């Protein structure tokens, strides 16, 4: 069963007089429960693909079905809702909110879902325990190491029980040991049934994924 | 649930403001001084007008005051004797007002004369008002010693005199003077009492206390001195006949004041060839004073609101900077799934919390300043519920108005760009 289906997705930008075709007719399908690595050099269109996958951006043309729902036609408000309920993000630079504690950062999606304070606190504690940070709940991001921050980000991405986790170079800012730990955590989540789509340019990181998709010049080069 | 989210939003706003304590405090100052000056100015304005109104009220809101004035057109041509000017209110006016108008409760006449007087060794020209016992009821004054004269004294043409505080001071009279003889003109009177003088009366409508040294019964004045008044000044002699200088009319109910005043005006028009009288209605003055007060408040309010405006712009400026600074945070929130509306609400609440807090502190400042003013000077200040609520409302409004633009700016941030923002 497919969770994501791209049908002839184009994304064009106007850069001065030149038109850049960041995505040039991409059609692909990702199955539920799969673990994909999207690979390619910079400028290959993998970031644009990630933005569209994450409903942060809309394609210029083509259709994007998320669980058979055409999200390429939705407005900003509905896209926010899709991001909240379907998608969890893990970024290269962690993107935690510096003034919030670990617990509040994990709770953030639940806050926008309108959960009760005590219920979401409970969930944040469970998730912190899952990523091994139950003792750091009241710390602020600045007091954590890079690996710990990325764990918080993973816990946050899981809070709203998303259907897909999108990881954009999740190990890019980490040393190889902590990077490996994060990848093991993601692999573990995938083993529990979460669909994971990851963007990376490192082949040893991509090796954790079950499938790999290579991008070049806005087109799919090959799939393995 | 919805409410708890609102409370959480406010707490989040306070938390964010506390991250930059000095900046938040400085931003708040604009509103603090704005609200402070509005409250203080309203209090001073309210105090000033209240004092004016109290003075007018002292004249009695039920009263109508009629004064004799020397008409401009008056002179030789109209009078039989070119050397004597005859003008003003008459004894008949007094009686007619008393008899004609159903709503008139009391009428007090006043006739002002100057006579050479002597108590013991002191000889002075005294300013004397001849009146009836009603005067002391319509113009109540504290009795310092002895008594004022009553109905019987007036009926009996009694030779009694009541000194005012001023007159007593001039004549060096004390409590011991009560019962002592006083010579006024060629006649002998007995001092029966001393009454307190009040300081200035609004607009000097009523014969001011400072201009009166003694009161004696009107009947006695007429018997002893007649109505002709002579004065030698600058080589020419002035001869005047003014029967009454003032009539104070008390009406039984406030609603009847204006109609009675109009009636008196019509009646006097019929009996006076010239306009040698002037009718003043303290109630009308009161209404006028209230209108003046409103204008005054509007003017003061607009001046003070300029400082509020400046405070609001200060807030907007800082919030715009804060939005730029927190672009990344906004991007994260948007990526996670926050709607534009929720970002707007978050920033708006921060501004409103800031401005409202400023409003509350400003209120304290605004209440403090008038208290200090009143303490160090005699200027009265009045703080009304309205002058507290209005600035508070305004400060919340400032938060919303000046917070809206930065908040909308924040919501417009493109999450993709915002996430790349350093």
pLDDT digits (tens, 9 = 90+) for B365-382: 988 888 888 888 877 888
Interface-testing mutation among A111, A156, A167, A199, with chain B (most B C-beta atoms within 10 A): A111
CATH code, residues A34-58+75-223: 3.40.50.300
Q: B331-360 pLDDT, tens per residue?
A: 999 999 999 999 999 999 999 999 999 999
Q: Is B339 on the interface with A (CB under 8 A)?
A: yes
Between strands A35-39 and A195-199, the pairing is parallel
Find residue B53's DSSP bridge partners: none
B106 contacts: CB under 8 Å, gap ≥ 6:
B134, B137, B138, B249, B250
> How does the average pLDDT of chain A come out, rounded?
92
* Rounded mean pLDDT, B204-213: 73
Q: How many CB atoms lie within 10 A of CB B172?
A: 12
B403 contacts: CB under 8 Å, gap ≥ 6:
B315, B316, B319, B347, B348, B350, B351, B352, B355
Chain A positions touching chain B (beta carbons under 8 Å): 51, 54, 56-57, 76-77, 80-81, 83-85, 87, 89, 91, 95-99, 108-109, 111-114, 116-117, 156, 160
d(C-alpha B202, C-alpha B285), whole Å: 10
> Residue B101 is encoded by which pair of tokens?
């108008």
Residue B244 is classified by DSSP as B
A133 contacts: CB under 8 Å, gap ≥ 6:
A102, A148, A151, A152, A155
- Token pair 């109508």 in the structure block, residue: B64
Angle at B171 between CA B67 and CA B186, to 5 degrees: 70
Query: Does A1 have pLDDT greater than 80?
Result: no
ipTM of the complex: 0.94
Give B340's contacts in chain A (Cβ within 8 Å).
Answer: 76-77, 80
Q: B59-105 pLDDT, tens per residue?
A: 777 889 898 887 665 554 444 445 677 888 888 899 999 888 888 99
In the structure, how many helices (H) and strands (E) does chain A have?
7, 10
d(C-alpha A7, C-alpha A220), whole Å: 12
The length of chain B is 422
Q: In chain A, what percentage of residues exceed pLDDT 70?
A: 100
Angle at B329 between CA A196 and CA B413, to 5 degrees: 95
Between strands B104-119 and B181-184, the pairing is antiparallel
User: Which of A46-60, A99-113, B249-263, B286-300 is predicted with the least confidence, judged by mean pLDDT?
Assistant: B286-300
> Residue B357 is encoded by which pair of tokens?
């807090």
- Token pair 């409760």 in the structure block, residue: B105
Q: Is B5 on the interface with A (CB under 8 A)?
A: yes
| Ranges assigned E (strand) in B135-245 | 143-146, 160-164, 181-184, 187-195, 214-217, 228-233, 236-241
Per-residue confidence (pLDDT) for residue B76, from 0 to 100: 47
Burial class of residue A89 (count of CB atoms within 10 Å of its CB; 0-12, 13-18, 19+): buried
d(C-alpha B146, C-alpha B163), whole Å: 10
Between strands B187-195 and B160-164, the pairing is parallel
Q: A73-111 pLDDT, tens per residue?
A: 899 999 999 999 999 999 999 999 998 999 999 999 999
Q: Where are the domains of chain A?
A: 34-58+75-223
Name which residue leads in pLDDT, B2 or B116: B116
Nearest-CA neighbor of B304 among B54, B31, B10, B105?
B31
d(C-alpha B107, C-alpha B219), whole Å: 15
3-state secondary structure of A156: helix
Q: B102-133 pLDDT, tens per residue?
A: 889 989 999 988 888 887 777 888 889 999 99
Q: Is B325 on the interface with A (CB under 8 A)?
A: no
User: In this structure, are residues A37 and A190 in contact, taking their beta carbons and an 8 Å threshold?
Assistant: no
Per-range mean pLDDT, top range of A94-108, B28-42, B175-189, B226-240: A94-108
Give B338's contacts in chain A (Cβ within 8 Å).
Answer: 80, 84, 112
Burial class of residue B99 (count of CB atoms within 10 Å of its CB; 0-12, 13-18, 19+): exposed
Query: Does B41 have pLDDT greater than 70?
Result: yes
**How far does A157 lie from chain B, in Å, by closest CA?**
8
A108, B336: Cβ pair inside 8 Å?
A: yes
Give B5's contacts in chain A (Cβ within 8 Å).
Answer: 111, 114
Q: Least CB-CB distance to B15: which of A57, A98, A99? A: A99
d(C-alpha A206, C-alpha A204), whole Å: 5
Nearest-CA neighbor of B217 among B250, B239, B258, B184?
B184
Q: Given pLDDT bands bounded at 50, 70 and 90, which one contains residue A149?
A: very high
Nearest-CA neighbor of B247 among B215, B279, B269?
B279
Is the pTM higher than 0.80? The answer reads: no
For residue B351, what are the CA distances in angstroms to A100, B28, B32, B413? Answer: 19, 10, 14, 18
Nearest-CA neighbor of B340 among B349, B350, B330, B327?
B330
User: In this structure, are residues B330 and B345 in contact, taking their beta carbons and an 8 Å threshold?
Assistant: no
Per-residue confidence (pLDDT) for residue B168, from 0 to 100: 85
A80, B334: Cβ pair inside 8 Å?
A: yes
Find residue B317's DSSP bridge partners: none
The answer to whether the Cα torsion of B401, B402, B407, B408 is positive or negative is positive
């Amino acid at each position: 069963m497919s969770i994501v289906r791209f049908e002839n997705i184009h994304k064009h930008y106007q850069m001065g007089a030149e038109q850049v075709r960041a995505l040039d007719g991409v059609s692909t399908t990702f199955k539920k429960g799969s673990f994909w690595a999207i690979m390619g050099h910079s400028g290959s269109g993998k970031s644009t693909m990630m933005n569209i996958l994450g409903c942060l951006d809309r394609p210029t043309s083509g259709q994007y079905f998320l669980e058979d729902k055409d999200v390429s036609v939705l407005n900003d408000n509905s896209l926010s809702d899709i991001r909240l309920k379907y998608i969890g993000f893990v970024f290269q630079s962690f993107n935690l909110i510096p003034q919030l504690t670990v617990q509040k950062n994990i709770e953030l999606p639940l806050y926008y879902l309108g959960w009760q304070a005590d219920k979401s606190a409970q969930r944040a504690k469970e998730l912190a325990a899952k990523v091994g940070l139950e003792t750091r709940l009241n710390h602020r991001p600045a007091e954590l190491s890079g690996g710990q921050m990325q764990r918080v980000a993973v816990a946050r991405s899981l809070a709203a029980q998303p259907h897909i986790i999108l990881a954009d170079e999740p190990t890019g800012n980490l040393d190889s040991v902590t990077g490996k730990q994060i990848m093991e955590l993601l692999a573990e989540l995938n083993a529990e049934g979460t669909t994971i789509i990851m963007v990376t340019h490192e082949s040893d990181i991509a090796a954790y994924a079950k499938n790999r998709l290579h991008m070049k010049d806005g087109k799919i080069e090959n799939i393995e | 649930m919805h409410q708890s989210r609102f409370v959480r939003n406010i707490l989040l706003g306070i938390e964010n403001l506390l991250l930059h304590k000095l900046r938040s405090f400085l931003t708040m100052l604009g509103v603090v001084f704005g609200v402070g000056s509005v409250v203080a100015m309203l209090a001073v304005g309210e105090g000033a007008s209240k004092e004016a109104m109290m003075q007018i009220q002292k004249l009695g809101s039920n009263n109508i005051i009629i004064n004799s004035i020397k008409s401009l057109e008056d002179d030789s041509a109209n009078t039989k004797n070119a050397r004597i000017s005859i003008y003003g209110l008459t004894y008949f006016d007094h009686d007619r007002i008393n008899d004609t108008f159903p709503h008139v409760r009391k009428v007090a006449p006043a006739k002002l004369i100057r006579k050479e007087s002597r108590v013991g060794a002191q000889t002075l020209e005294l300013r004397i008002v001849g009146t009836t016992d009603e005067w002391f009821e319509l113009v109540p004054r504290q009795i310092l010693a002895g008594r004022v004269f009553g109905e019987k004294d007036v009926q009996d043409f009694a030779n009694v005199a009541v000194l005012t505080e001023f007159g007593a001071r001039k004549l060096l009279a004390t409590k011991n003077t009560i019962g002592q003889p006083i010579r006024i003109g060629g006649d002998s009177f007995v001092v029966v009492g001393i009454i307190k003088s009040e300081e200035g009366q609004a607009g000097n409508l009523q014969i001011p206390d400072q201009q009166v040294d003694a009161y004696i019964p009107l009947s006695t004045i007429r018997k002893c001195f007649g109505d002709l008044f002579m004065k030698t000044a600058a080589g020419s002699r002035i001869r005047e006949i003014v029967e009454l200088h003032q009539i104070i009319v008390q009406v039984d109910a406030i609603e009847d004041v204006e109609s009675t005043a109009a009636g008196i005006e019509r009646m006097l028009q019929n009996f006076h060839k010239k306009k040698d009288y002037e009718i003043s209605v303290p109630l009308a003055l009161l209404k006028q004073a209230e209108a003046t007060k409103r204008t005054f408040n509007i003017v003061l309010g607009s001046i003070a609101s300029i400082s509020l405006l400046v405070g609001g712009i200060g807030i907007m400026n800082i919030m715009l900077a804060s939005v730029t600074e927190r672009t990344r945070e906004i991007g994260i929130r948007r990526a996670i799934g926050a709607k534009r509306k929720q970002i707007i609400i978050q920033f708006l609440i921060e501004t409103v919390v800031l401005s409202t807090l400023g409003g509350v502190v400003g209120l304290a400042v605004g209440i403090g300043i008038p208290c200090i003013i009143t303490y160090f000077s005699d200027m009265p200040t009045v703080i009304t519920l309205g002058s507290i609520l209005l600035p508070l409302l305004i400060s919340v409004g400032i938060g919303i108005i000046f917070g809206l633009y930065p908040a909308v700016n924040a919501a417009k941030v493109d999450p993709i760009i915002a996430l790349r923002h350093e």
